[in-house]
Amino acid sequence: MRVLLLVLGTICAGIGALGVVLPLLPTTPFLLLAAVCFARASTRLHDALLAHRVLGPYIRDYRNGAMTRGQLTRTIGLLWASLVLSSVIVAKPVVWVVLAVIGIAVSWHLLSMRRR
């Protein structure tokens, strides 16, 4: 189980790192999953991830329940841009409703976080 968690954590950390530079790829969910995997499999890797100068702040900010206004604006903007793009590509009303519900729920969650 430890090896599986290490592999999954490494993959998620890699995808999260790509999300920092690729606009439509989410960063925080993958980094949070990597942190959980590493916390259960390797204290050393977990601590290294949290101490990383670029990736660490994403995890710490989310765990503290705080975002800057700029982070919030970018996150919600990219969320809705990707949902609209997905809706245009799929072009099915059922998918539009599902994506709208997801977008509203995630936006609500993000807007409920404290500002730092």
What percent of the chain stands above pLDDT 70?
Answer: 98
Residue 2 confidence (pLDDT) = 95
Are 8 and 54 members of one domain?
Answer: yes
Residue 93 confidence (pLDDT) = 93
Are 14 and 57 members of one domain?
Answer: yes
Rounded CA-CA distance 42/36 in Å is 10
Are 12 and 60 members of one domain?
Answer: yes
Give 18-50 pLDDT, tens digit per residue: 988 887 778 888 999 999 999 999 999 999 999
Give 90-110 pLDDT, tens digit per residue: 889 999 999 999 999 999 998
State the residue range of the domain holding 27. 2-64
pTM beyond 0.85: the answer is no
Contacts by 82-88, CB closer than 8 A, 24 or more apart: 82/24, 85/24
- How many structural domains are present in the chain? 2
Which structure tokens are listed for 103? 């977008």
Which structure tokens are listed for 95? 């998918």
